Amino acid sequence: MVFQIILLIMLAYVVGFIYFGLYRNITARIQGRYRPTVYQSFYDSIKLFSKKQSVSYGWMFYLGPIIMATGAVLTLILVPVFSDSDFLRSVTSQGNLFVLLYLMVLGPLGNALAVGTGGNPFGVMGVVRGLTRLIGLELPFYIAVVGLIIAANSSDIVHIIDMQKIGGLNIINHPLLFIGAMISMVGFFGESPFDIPGAPQEVYSGPRTEFSGKFLALLMSQGSLFAFAKLVLIVDLFLGGADSLEMLVLKTFAIFVSIIFIGIVYGRYKVEQAVDFLMKLPTLIAVLGLARVVWFG
Amino acid sequence: MFGLDKGDKMESGFYGSSLKCKFEESGLANTHAIMEKAVRWFESRSIFVVAYGTGCGAIEMPPTFTSRYDAERMGVVGVATPRQADLIILSGYLAYKTLRRVIRTYEQMQKPRYIMSLGSCPINGGMYWDSYNTIKKLDDYIPVDVAVTGCMPRPEAVIDGFVLLQERIRNGEKAGWEKYDENLKFYKDNQKRVLGGHVDPAYETDWYNLNGGGIA
């Protein structure tokens, strides 16, 4: 089982970094630039891990990225990656959607503690913006997840996948829940209308301002692991999971590309605009979807 | 600047000195050399730049990094903070006041770190050769790795500078930050000569004097 977990982390690391490489590629092409290589994020990660110095401000500064990475890895191993195989089934059966929703918030909180120790005002500003955004971001996503739990009558993700095999995909059965969840997923990926915590040209790198060398490398790595975990979660919840590696890559990539395209097209909201928007339109859509589930099944 | 002086630094990385000793003891020096070479290659392929826009050269930076010349295809990306940066581009003349900030920014960067200067002014003063408050030769105050000449250099020349820097990193040539560590007294004396007795970022000097863990 430990071997499977290591295998999964390696898979997520490689796929995550290649996805981010593709993200940079696609962004470059849309902006009319040439493009970096697909492996560029991987190069960056190795370079940052091999930096000779990393500035530190005490043990809490060390713990922050580690807490974030813990949240990402736990999310990753608790989400069922392959629907039909026994791959890590003994671990994924331990967790359910409630645990996952809790783990998804663990990272930002760990980050907040580390950034507070660093004392950089831009970092603190970024964390405050991030946590404010989280208020709006979680609402539509949680409502969508509650709708799915009611529809499947279970909070077990494996059960939700199995239900989709019998009754059709959730993206077709519950499109309103899907739209609500996807809008907040754009924010969870830090994409453009909601990229307020690390807003470039505004608060420098936001929470990451003070992180250098291997701390930054760890943050980047956990970011790609977490991104992969979130993509797999969306695929499991709405697209019926994936039974092979090809299907997994295809489905996660489809979700990823749609998120990228949304991110490239839009400009950035202000903090209060983002929270306002997230609490109105996506929440309304998700609530309508929930009402549809409750009254019509 | 922001009360960041408290930070203490630690040595780390693939080829920290203790690791090197272990490799040499166990007769794996060859493996170590190969690993070092690989790491150098990755370092050359990924350069994070903090663009310090002094003087007129700042205008050459946007076309270098955006659609027209796209430095990202060589792995050269702009970052917002010196903590994450590998390279600082000083794009033009430096007044004494600017030099203070530049030294501070440079010392906040994490090793290995490099400096690129644009234009004639950082080399010999350029058109500010007789100015009373401008430094004439930047290399006396902080170690410049690549000096791109021109008044101002076009983005092609800047990209040529990136390529030269990448080759140097790949070949493992002695970089400016190593010279800075070895000749710290020379650089600090020069800095004090123009900036007065108090050079703003005292922590780097103190760190060397106290052998690590120093808090200024």
Of the listed ranges A113-122, B43-52, B63-72, B124-133, the least confidently predicted one is A113-122
> Does residue B42 register a pLDDT over 90?
yes
Listed ranges A115-119, A166-170, B166-170, B210-214; the one with the highest mean pLDDT: B166-170
A216 in contact with B, Cβ within 8 Å? yes
A27 in contact with B, Cβ within 8 Å? no
C-alpha to C-alpha distances, B112 to B48, B83, B145, nearest whole angstrom: 11, 12, 12
C-beta of residue A92 within 8 angstroms of C-beta of residue A79: yes
> Does residue B171 register a pLDDT over 80?
yes
Nearest residue, CB atoms, B110 vs list A55, A119, A205: A55
Confidence of residue B21 (pLDDT cuts 50, 70, 90): low
A30 in contact with B, Cβ within 8 Å? no
Residue A108: asked if its preceding bond is cis (omega within 30°), the reply is no
* DSSP H or E segment with residue A132: helix A121-152
Mean pLDDT of B140-166: 93
> Does residue B3 register a pLDDT over 50?
no
Instruction: State how far residue B12 is from chain A, nearest Cα, in angstroms.
Output: 5
CB atoms within 10 A of CB B84: 25
Q: What is the pLDDT of residue B126?
A: 87
> Does residue B204 register a pLDDT over 80?
no
A31 in contact with B, Cβ within 8 Å? yes
A51 in contact with B, Cβ within 8 Å? yes
Confidence of residue B8 (pLDDT cuts 50, 70, 90): very low
Q: What is the pLDDT of residue B39?
A: 93
Instruction: State how far residue B129 is from chain A, nearest Cα, in angstroms.
Output: 34
Confidence of residue B10 (pLDDT cuts 50, 70, 90): very low
Of the listed ranges A285-294, B9-18, B112-121, the least confidently predicted one is B9-18
Confidence of residue B192 (pLDDT cuts 50, 70, 90): confident
Q: Which site among A38, A52, A56 would you substitute to test the B interface, given the most B Cβ atoms closer than 10 Å to its Cβ?
A: A52
Nearest residue, CB atoms, A205 vs list B45, B46, B81: B81
A34 in contact with B, Cβ within 8 Å? yes
Running along chain A, 297 residues long, what does each successive block of 10 average in pLDDT?
88 90 92 91 92 85 90 90 77 82 85 85 89 90 94 90 89 93 91 85 84 90 91 92 89 92 90 92 95 89
- The mean pLDDT value of chain B amounts to 81
Mean pLDDT of B16-36: 67
Chain B CB contacts of A200 under 8 Å are 80
A224 or B20, higher pLDDT: A224
Domain locations in chain B? 14-45, 47-209
C-beta of residue A274 within 8 angstroms of C-beta of residue A133: yes
A191 in contact with B, Cβ within 8 Å? no
Q: What is the pLDDT of residue A200?
A: 76
Which residues contact residue A18 at a Cβ distance below 8 angstroms, ignoring those fewer than 6 apart?
A38, A39, A42
What phi, psi does B148 have (nearest 5°)? -90, 120
Q: Is the dihedral of CA A273, A275, A281, A282 positive or negative?
A: positive
Nearest residue, CB atoms, A52 vs list B6, B83, B111: B111
Cβ contact, residue pair B4, A216, below 8 Å: no
Q: What is the pLDDT of residue B205?
A: 46
Q: Indicate whether this model's pTM tops 0.90.
A: no
Q: Give the closest residue to A131 by CA, choosing from A267, A263, A271.
A: A271
Q: Which site among B87, B106, B110 would you substitute to test the A interface, given the most A Cβ atoms closer than 10 Å to its Cβ?
A: B110
A29 in contact with B, Cβ within 8 Å? no
Nearest residue, CB atoms, A46 vs list B42, B81, B112: B42
Q: What's the distance, Cα to Cα, between the start and end of chain B in Å?
A: 13
Write out the two tokens for A188: 């969870």
Cβ contact, residue pair A51, B110, below 8 Å: yes
Return d(Cα A277, Cα A192) in angstroms, integer: 14
Chain A CB contacts of B12 under 8 Å are 51-54, 213-214
A216-236 residue pLDDT tens: 999 999 999 999 999 999 999
Residues 106-165 of chain B with CB under 8 A from chain A are 108, 110-112
B3 in contact with A, Cβ within 8 Å? yes
Q: What is the pLDDT of residue B20?
A: 53
Q: What is the pLDDT of residue A57?
A: 83
Distance of CA B29 to the CA centre of its chain: 29
Q: Which site among B12, B36, B107 would you substitute to test the A interface, given the most A Cβ atoms closer than 10 Å to its Cβ?
A: B12
Nearest residue, CB atoms, A211 vs list B13, B77, B83: B83
Q: What is the pLDDT of residue B19?
A: 53
> Does residue B2 register a pLDDT over 50?
no
Chain B CB contacts of A119 under 8 Å are 2-4, 6
CB atoms within 10 A of CB A166: 6
Q: How many CB pairs lie under 8 A apart between chains A and B?
A: 121
Is residue B155 classed as helix, strand or coil in its secondary structure? helix
Return d(Cα A50, Cα B46) in angstroms, integer: 12
ipTM for the assembly: 0.88
Of the listed ranges A190-199, A253-262, B172-181, B207-216, the least confidently predicted one is B207-216
Return d(Cα B163, Cα B161) in angstroms, integer: 5
Q: Is the dihedral of CA A89, A95, A98, A104 positive or negative?
A: negative
B148 or B205, higher pLDDT: B148
Write out the two tokens for B145: 């790795």
Nearest residue, CB atoms, A43 vs list B67, B75, B111: B75
Residue in chain A nearest B84 by alpha carbon:
A212
Cβ contact, residue pair A44, B75, below 8 Å: yes
Instruction: State how far residue A46 is from chain B, nearest Cα, in angstroms.
Output: 7
Mean pLDDT of B180-189: 88
Cβ contact, residue pair B12, A51, below 8 Å: yes
What class is the B47-209 domain? Answer: alpha beta
